[in-house]
Amino acid sequence: QVQLVESGGGLVQAGGSLRLSCAASGGRFSVMGWFRQAPGKQRYFVAAITWSGDDTQYGDSVKGRFTISRDNALNTVFLQMDQLNSADTAVYYCAARRGLALVAQTTMWNYWGQGTQVTVSS
């Protein structure tokens, strides 16, 4: 049974940083990523990374501020979030897919975590 468990969310002031972690169990995945969903809005792509870590992709709103990485020995993916602002407030979801491509469409991802809340106060 595949499980993705996020941690590291919380309350932070604008301009601050947070680091999210997602521990996977029950499988190893070529591509892992992060999405986020604010209240009343759809789920948006944040970042994705390949198995080797050589290829990454980011949503336009987080480029230059967020960094995705992974530790395959720990079967864990991370999201370092810097220069946070109020628009980053959302529930952040870890996701995994068995395909090889980095894709932004939510329907292309096979597994999802339960989410972790990130709140940025201005």
Sign of CA dihedral 3, 50, 83, 35: negative
What residue ranges of the chain have pLDDT lower than 70?
A: none
Give me 73's structure tokens.
């020995």
Q: Which pLDDT belongs to residue 95?
A: 98
Q: Which pLDDT belongs to residue 47?
A: 98
Q: Which pLDDT belongs to residue 8?
A: 98
Q: Which pLDDT belongs to residue 41?
A: 96
Q: Which pLDDT belongs to residue 93?
A: 98
